[in-house]
Amino acid sequence: MFDTSEAILNQLVAGEDSFAEFKEVRFGRHGVISPASDDMAGELVALANAEGGTIFLGVDDQGSVLGIPPERLRQVEEWVVNLATENCEPPIRPLFRRVMLPDARGEVRPVLLAQVRRGLYVHRTRGGRWLIRVGSTKSDLTGDELGRLLQERGRRFIFDETPVPTATREDLDQELLERHFSPPVGIDWTQLLVNARVTVADEDGVDRPTVAAVLCFSREPATYLPGAFIEAAVYRGERRHSDDLVHPEEIRGPVNNQIDEAVDFVDRFMLKPARKDVGREDYPQYSLGAVQEALVNAVAHRDYAVAGSRIRLFLYADRLEVISPGGLPNTVTLESMRYRQFTRNQLLVSFLSKMKSRRAGRSFLEERGEGVTRIIEESTTYSGREPTYELHGEQLHLTIWARSSPHQ
């Protein structure tokens, strides 16, 4: 669509329609101020939920070419990519073209075309609006329309089952795959990976690894999913301040290794005072069983659609904190999470449930649905103080309190 200059100019004369949206771009001190972010995300979602189309950036509503300053083109492109990733669920991946078009005085100016393809899934804005393109405008889907569209597009969007557009089958480690799967007689690896949802076809029909597969079977998931690692740090006091930072570390690799290495990190840096009344008895600050459950929950249930955000693990003098990107899924609340089994990443959970922890010698998810209860009960018994779960925006924040030294 709009493959030639003639086709583009003809569309400007014809005006906006089901496949073309015009947007004037204006800038403020800190970047793009018009169109508004919510409005632009809505246009992306509406086109993806319809038959796709193109947004002409640098063109006003009447089809007049206003252009974008050449030095601002990359900034506008990055702004659109960020909105399409962060403000659209599931993320949308537009294609960009830079074209030179004449304005009303005949001067040639740069215009950015953002092409949106018809979505495989039904999209919505981060604010929860389900929109669709109707003629030259976008409108909210009614309940019946949404139901029909969900049925037509297969099923509800599950992020960890979507293809990673920057990854290929060759980016998965064969040794890790062979350790996890054993192909039945008569089924080759290609078919097995499709059957197990390790790979799925993208919008162009190319088989690519799913988000869950990249997390479990690539040597460095963060190469393809920025933020798919654990940021760990030790502080000498009770505050998060650079002056008190003792040791920072990024824990990377397949997510099963991340969990074990994060527990190793806590074991290595937590205090272990001892009493020697009758022989030596250590008093480590935390129950490593509860710590492991906390990290399993963080890795298994975080929102990987929040690009660039990572799990954070902080050790202080008096507590341990695990911070996970994403709020609680579905209708789960802070009060009910102890009693309800939930998961945001069904495929990832299915892979982890068949993987054994190097430290614990058992499946990471052997006791499905009991993780939060174990964290609370075991940590409370251990330290005498109940852990706390809090929501800070779109982050789940767990605090586990340290056991007091026997010398206090």
What is the pLDDT, as a whole number, of residue 66?
97
What is the pLDDT, as a whole number, of residue 360?
84
More confident position, 145 or 25: 25
Tell me the pLDDT band of 144, cut-offs 50, 70 and 90: confident
What is the pLDDT, as a whole number, of residue 168?
94
Tell me the pLDDT band of 407, cut-offs 50, 70 and 90: low
CA angle (195 as vertex; 192, 197 as ends), nearest 5: 105
Residues 171-194 have a mean pLDDT of 87
Q: Is the pLDDT of residue 155 over 60?
A: no
Q: Phi and psi dihedrals of 269, rounded to 5?
A: -105, -15
**From 84-88, 141-145, 183-187, 194-198, the region with the lowest mean pLDDT:** 183-187
pLDDT > 90: percent of the chain:
64
Residues 32-39 have a mean pLDDT of 94
**From 57-61, 306-310, 350-354, 359-363, the region with the lowest mean pLDDT:** 306-310
| Nearest C-alpha neighbor of 180 from the set 228, 216, 221 | 216
Q: Is the pLDDT of residue 266 over 70?
A: yes
Residues 253-275 have a mean pLDDT of 93
CA distance 16 to 159: 32
Residues 318-326 have a mean pLDDT of 94
Pair of tokens at residue 20? 């073309």
Mean pLDDT, the chain, rounded, equals 89
DSSP symbol at 318:
S
Residues 293-317 have a mean pLDDT of 91
| Nearest C-alpha neighbor of 347 from the set 236, 250, 229, 214 | 214
Q: Phi and psi dihedrals of 365, rounded to 5?
A: -125, 45
Q: Is the pLDDT of residue 329 over 80?
A: no
Residues 297-303 have a mean pLDDT of 92
Residues 184-209 have a mean pLDDT of 85
Q: Is the pLDDT of residue 157 over 80?
A: no
CA distance 148 to 150: 5
Q: Phi and psi dihedrals of 277, rounded to 5?
A: -60, -55
Distances from the Cα of 100 to the Cα of 79, 107, 291, angstroms? 20, 10, 57
- pTM of the model as a whole: 0.69
List the domains of the chain with CATH numbers: 5-152 (3.30.950.30), 159-221 (no CATH), 230-401 (3.30.565.60)
What is the pLDDT, as a whole number, of residue 240?
92
At which residue do the structure tokens 């192909």 appear?
183
What is the pLDDT, as a whole number, of residue 351?
94
Q: Is the pLDDT of residue 277 over 80?
A: no
What is the pLDDT, as a whole number, of residue 379?
94
Residues 6+ apart with CB under 8 A from 386: 376, 379, 380
User: What type of residue is 215?
Assistant: L
**From 35-44, 69-78, 207-216, 367-376, the region with the lowest mean pLDDT:** 367-376
- Which range is most confident: 355-364, 365-374, 379-388, 398-407? 379-388
H helices of 183-254, in order, are 189-195, 211-217
CA distance 131 to 40: 12
What is the pLDDT, as a whole number, of residue 304?
87
> Containing H/E element for 289?
helix 288-301
Q: Is the pLDDT of residue 339 over 80?
A: no
Q: Is there a contact between 75 and 61 (Cβ–Cβ < 8 Å)?
A: no
Residues 132-147 have a mean pLDDT of 89
> Containing H/E element for 95?
strand 95-102
Tell me the pLDDT band of 408, cut-offs 50, 70 and 90: low
The two counts, helices (H) then strands (E), for the chain are 11, 20
Residues 197-217 have a mean pLDDT of 90
| Nearest C-alpha neighbor of 150 from the set 129, 121, 128 | 121
What is the pLDDT, as a whole number, of residue 280?
62
Q: Is the pLDDT of residue 206 over 90?
A: no
| Nearest C-alpha neighbor of 103 from the set 66, 62, 145 | 66
More confident position, 162 or 340: 162
Q: Phi and psi dihedrals of 401, rounded to 5?
A: -85, 145
Distances from the Cα of 135 to the Cα of 47, 48, 73, 103, 127, angstroms? 11, 14, 28, 26, 23
DSSP per position, 103-146? -TTS-EEEEEEEEEPPPSS--EETTS--EEEETTEEEEPPHHHH
What is the pLDDT, as a whole number, of residue 278?
58
CA distance 244 to 234: 8
Q: Is the pLDDT of residue 204 over 80?
A: no
Residues 6+ apart with CB under 8 A from 150: 122, 156
